[in-house]
A = this chain, B = another copy of it.
Amino acid sequence: MSTRVTVWNEFRQEQSDPPVRAIYPDGIHAAIADGLRDAGFEVRTATLDEPEHGLTDEVLAETDVLTWWGHIAHEEVSDAVVDRVHQRVLEGMGLIVLHSGHFSRIFKRLMGTTCNLKWREAGEHERVWIVDPSHPIAEGLGESFLIEHEEMYGEHFDIPAPDRLVLVSWFAGGEVFRSGCCYQRGRGRIFYFRPGHETYPTYFNADVRRVIANAAAWAAQPAGTPPTYGNRQPLESL
């Protein structure tokens, strides 16, 4: 059975903002989903304005990895859905948080920090360097890749130190950023991946698609043993 990915998108600016619609006429989710389908994943999409934001218990139960893109409407995501996604991640569902999703409620919930950062919209060069080439997410990437035009995100990025730091971005204007960050929380694997501003065709970039596909494969990986909790009898005589 192939890995089942649900691609979640806020899907607002593609409808309200012509320059964004010009790049992503079917929504950012459609571009991400196409890349994942090409890589062999079983993909569905869900968006903010669907009932329960498209993330019902049934959908999440059939999701191995969830990708998350949001920007201007983070606060419209309901408590119930944040709680539900949080619980599923702790139970083992993978989560890939993209770009401005750094300020999503689910990412801040999982990190416990502000997730704040610096930014600039100047369409500048972003070069993404692989600093942990032994990590599965680095597979096939070479030493670095270029995104011709992107928004800048700069340090300091207020996150817990990643369990593994895989990617660091260089920006033409002088900044660096920890762009690919791995976390384990409960039984779930989480990957934050920086690129993807809505005014650039980043999710059509082959290297970006490769990172997302590698991350989905990594985050979906079944592993380990179910934890147990609660009141216990002694194993050895006291």
Residue pair B236, A125 in contact (C-beta under 8 Å): yes
Is B116's CB under 8 angstroms from A172's CB? Answer: no
Q: Is the CB of A122 within 8 A of B234?
A: yes
A144-202: which residues lie under 8 A (CB-CB) from chain B?
Answer: 144, 146, 152, 154-158, 160-161, 163-165, 168-176, 178, 183-189
A132 (CB) vs chain B CBs: closest residue: B161
Residues of B near A171 (CB, < 8 A) are 170
Bound: A185/B133 CA distance, A? 11
Return A112 CB to nearest CB of chain B, in Å: 4
A142 to B163, CA, bound (A): 24
Contact of A175 among B140, B170, B223, B224 (CB under 8 A): B170
- Please determine whether A157 and B131 come into contact, CB atoms closer than 8 angstroms: yes
Task: Check B133 against A229 for contact (C-beta < 8 Å).
Answer: no
Question: Does A2 sit within 8 A of B, measured CB to CB?
Answer: no
Query: What is the bound-complex CA distance between A183 and B158, given in angstroms?
Result: 14
A37 within 8 A of B: no
**A49 at interface, CB cutoff 8 A:** no
Residue from the list B116, B173, B221, B234 in contact with A174, Cβ < 8 A: B234
Number of copies: 4
Question: Across the interface, which residues of B come within 8 angstroms of A139, CB to CB?
Answer: 223-225
| A11 surroundings in chain B (CB, below 8 A) | none
Query: A72 near B: Cβ within 8 Å?
Result: no
User: Among the listed B122, B161, B168, which residue makes an inter-chain contact with A176, where contact means beta carbons less than 8 Å apart?
Assistant: B168
Contact with B along A115-152 (1 / 0, CB 8 A): 01111101011010111111110111111101000001
- A117 touching B229 in the complex, CB below 8 Å, given contacts A130-B155, A136-B224, A185-B112: yes
Q: What residues make up the interface of A, taking CB atoms closer than 8 Å to B? A: 90, 92, 109-114, 116-120, 122, 124-125, 127, 129-136, 138-144, 146, 152, 154-158, 160-161, 163-165, 168-176, 178, 183-189, 221, 223-236, 238
* 6 closest A-B pairs by CB: A173-B234, A174-B235, A156-B227, A136-B223, A174-B236, A110-B112
